[in-house]
Structure 1
Amino acid sequence: MNLIKRLLLPLVLLVSVTMTQAQVTVYVDPVKGNDTYDGQQASPVKTFKQAVKMISDSGGTMHLALNSIFAEPMQWLGHDDTAPVTVMGNAATIDLGTDISAGPWIPDGDGYIYAKPVPRHVGNAPWQMANVYINNQPITAYDPRFGKAPKPGQLQHLPEDRLRIVLPQGLSISDAKIILNPDYKTSCVAIRRGNITIRDLNVRHGGNDGFNIHGQNDNVELRNVTAMFCGDEGISAHGQTRMNVYDSIIAFNGSQAGGVADVNQSSTTYTRCASLYNRGHAFYFDKGEHVLTDCLVGFNAIPWKRMKADRFTNNNVIEMTDDKPLENLPWQMEQLYKQCQALRQAE
């Protein structure tokens, strides 16, 4: 037996070294990078598309340039997920919004028509999600079941891909910061694989979700991420995804469902997370198993949770309200709230 062990040990070591060598490290910089480069620290690639191509099948680590801003979605679609992948966000931001404040805007009765074509948002019922943000507030299409025209703070899709907006009451077009989200299918980060960890990444203004996870994915992990101002949910797990989220903020998202909506047979945990100021519920769980631990919710448009889950565990969820002052929060939740407010003011 000892002889067999001695003979097999070099083979085991060889396999281990080979697997280690196969792991790829890729650096991505939207300013200094070039997709013809080799992706090393001194010669980063420019786009997520190229970086994902280099790393997805072999596994490894993707490093984003510190505090960088990307106007490109990150998509992990249809790749081998046996080799683990880690994305080190390094406080980078994926921002898919387009500032259309300057127009040109054409006055039209009580509203304004944007003079250029916009991405189509008609795949889902358009009133279910926010296509536009005005001064960081979600603006959704009016629901024709409840009126013949948009009310203040609503929008309308016109023929030839035109957009009509009725501004919130008291706001002039010159004072409005208007951000257009991309089409309803585009998420900031789309994941169709398992064995992936994403850390320290901010996402903004996805036309669909901030983080959208579909399929039979095991070992999906999000750590210290923020998902804000997205048309639909900040985070949404589908299918049979198994996902854990830690130390993250989901806020100001425009979905009618919630800041988080985990559906189908997904199983998810959220630990030390805050879901605040969303248009829908803080958390919406449909089937599957879900656990919330030391989470903060508050100021969402409708009651903080909607549960149809097969199994749900509440391990200390604190709901913040106007009559629950900040000083009464546990320290960790107070920090989450302050971070959320700082992010909002920085936009």
Structure 2
Amino acid sequence: MNRILFALLLAVAGTEARDIRVGLDKDAPTIAQAIKASLPGDVIHLEPKVYHDYAGFYGKKGEPAKPITLDGHGATLEGSDPLDPATWTEVSPGLFKNDALLPRLDDAVIGRWFFLWNGQMNHMGRTSKGRAAPLKKPEDLQPGEWTFVKDPSREKPPSLQIYGAFYIRLPAGQKLADAIIRAPVRSAGVQMGGDNAHLVIKNLTATHPYNDGFNIHGDCRDVVFENIRAIECGDDGISAHESAQYRVDGFVSMGNSTGITDTGTAQTSYNRVFLANNIGFDLFFLDEGRYTLTNALVLSSAQNALTITGRTNGDCCMKMENVLIRRLAKPRLGNVTTRAVLEAKNCTFEGMDVKVAGSATWNNCLVNDKPLPEGSKATGADVSGLLKLMPQDFKP
């Protein structure tokens, strides 16, 4: 009997939640090892510092009421590293070449690429979702510019992997070792793939990956993000794919290609959101997903402020409540396209028009200081496929 009782006590003790401190606990020297070792109810703690690392969750599951938690405590996951002068060759005065900067490249990576030059993102007029200037020839580069040149002879179809070389131009006489240049060598800050469930990620900033700050793929369930930030990421601040389901409470997205982009059949909700200084899109919701945005402020200077669009067989459905979008640039336009449904409540759109080719329902909403009729509904069918909401159309 005593042996049985002792075994039961050991079993209970083995299920107690643990605090796992990355870099301080001997069995968790890295974020990846801490995540791998974590069990339902455990809390992984980061220190409030910069980590040149990312957090990957691949088929990781807590349990209902016993999530696995990653608490950043204000930590930053930095996606870039300084250039290593030893890996670059000076091919002509001031022009440097590297044909092995990343182990694997494809067109999507190049479309998102940037260098950090003296702490400033240099996209060369390119963005992953939006207008993109053509890449320059190496000989045409000016000091402070970069380009990429493909080498098709090394490609092996049907693989999408590409090969080639990056080039950067420095001012005459400057040594690469003296230049302050960083490259985005990590794809994301937080990344999920496969089936993940019962997770909490909080108090964390992702910055300078070449892809998303928070890149969520797969079939995640009961995943919560709290007080997170995505700053200057090559693609999306946060992005849901496939059938991902998660909730975000407290999100800042600034300086990214897009603020938020969700696709597939994802089901997401965002509360307490601030977006600013994004490039291609601020809010971009696609496909057959079900999305909610509440208590949000968007200072919109991206090429596109708001786009909701269904691309496949089902409708893309978006609910917005207590959202202010202040458009700071042209074109002053938001789009609810065909196969898209918007329900807006207590929303304000300043300095922009809204085109609706799908369906939109408005409750206590303002467009350019003019109220929309209570409970009004607009569909593309009402106006030959396109309704443009202009200030003069509304009566106070």
Q: TM-score, normalised by structure 1?
A: 0.70
1:100 alignment partner in structure 2:
83
Letter in 2 for 1:155: T
Q: Aligned AA for 1:221?
A: V
Contact 1:26-1:51 within 8 A present in 2 as well: no
The 1:53–1:145 alpha-carbon spacing in structure 2 relative to 1, beyond 3 Å, is closer
Q: Which residue is 2:247 aligned to?
A: 244
Between the aligned partners of 2:295 and 2:93, the Cα distance in structure 1 is: 46
Instruction: Report the Cα distance in structure 1 between the residues aligned to 2:125 and 2:104, rounded to whole angstroms.
Output: 10
1:307 corresponds in structure 2 to 308
Contact persistence 1:29–1:47 (CA under 8 A): yes
Give the letter aligned to residue 75 of structure 1: G
Percent of pairs identical after alignment?
23
Choose the corresponding residue for 1:77, options 54, 58, 63. 58
User: How far apart in 2 are the matches of 1:69 and 1:127?
Assistant: 26
Task: Indicate the SS of the match to 2:221.
Answer: coil
For structure 1, the 5+ residue unaligned runs are 1-14, 36-44, 324-347
The one of 19, 22, 26 equivalent to 2:19 is: 26
How many residues are paired up? 289
Stretches of structure 2 lacking an aligned partner (at least 5 in a row): 1-7, 152-162, 311-315, 330-396
Q: 1:138–1:279: 8 Å Cα contact kept in structure 2?
A: no
Matched-pair contact (CA < 8 Å) for 1:24–1:55: no
For 1:234, what is the secondary structure of its paired residue? strand
Greater displacement, 262-271 / 75-84: 75-84
Q: Does 1:211 align with 2:214?
A: yes
Aligned-residue CA RMSD (Å): 3.7
- Contact 2:211–2:233 at 8 Å: present in 1 too? yes
Measured in 2, the distance between the counterparts of 1:92 and 1:262 equals 25
Q: Quote how far apart the aligned CAs of 1:237 are.
A: 0.9
Q: How has the CA–CA distance of structure 1 residues 164 and 199 changed in structure 2, closer, same or farther, with 3 Å as cutoff?
A: same
Corresponding residue for residue 331 of structure 1: none
Superposition deviation, residue 103 in structure 1: 8.0
Deviations 1:83-112 (A, max 9, x none): 521111111111121122978876678973
Q: Deviations over 1:168-223 (max 9, x none)?
A: 9xxx989964220115xx32211231211111011122232111111121211111
CA distance in 1, matches of 2:136, 2:46: 47
Q: CA deviation at 1:318?
A: 1.9
**Change in 2 beyond 3 A, CA 1:296/1:19:** farther
Closer/same/farther in 2, CA of residues 20 and 34 from structure 1, 3 Å limit: closer
2:33, 2:232 → 1: CA distance?
27
Residues 1:266 and 1:322: Cα distance change in structure 2 (over 3 Å) = closer
Distance in 2 between the 1:78 and 1:296 partners? Answer: 34
How far off is 1:312 after superposition?
A: 0.8
- Report the Cα distance in structure 2 between the residues aligned to 1:218 and 1:303, rounded to whole angstroms: 30
- Which region of structure 1 is more displaced relative to structure 2, 98-107 or 113-122? 98-107
Supply the distance in 1 between the matched residues of 2:221 and 2:68 (Cα, whole angstroms).
12
Residue deviations 1:2-48 (CA, integer Å, cap 9, x gap):
xxxxxxxxxxxxx9x97786143233344x4533xxxxxxxxx3211
More helix by share: 1
User: For residues 90 and 141 of structure 1, do their structure 2 counterparts lie closer, same or farther at Cα, with a shift above 3 Å needed?
Assistant: same
**1:229 CA drift (Å):** 2.1
2:155 is the counterpart of 1:149: no
Higher strand fraction (1 or 2)? 2
Give the whole-Å Cα distance in 1 for the aligned partners of 2:270 and 2:170.
36
With structure 2 as the length reference, what TM-score do the two structures score?
Answer: 0.62
Shift of 1:126: 4.1
Find the aligned partners of 1:145 and 1:228 in 2 and give their Cα distance.
23
* Paired residues of 1:217 and 1:242 also in contact (CA < 8 A): yes
Amino acid at match of 2:121: Q
Does the C-alpha gap of structure 1 residues 283 and 322 become closer, same or farther in structure 2, counting only changes over 3 Å? closer
Q: Give the equivalent residue in structure 1 for 2:30.
A: 47
- Quote the Cα distance in structure 2 between the aligned partners of 1:138 and 1:19: 54
Residue identity opposite 1:304 in structure 2? A
Determine if contact 1:240/1:267 at 8 Å carries over to the other structure. yes
After superposition, give the CA deviation of every residue in 1:137-172 in whole Å (9 maximum; x if it has no partner): 24259799956637765522455753113689xxx9
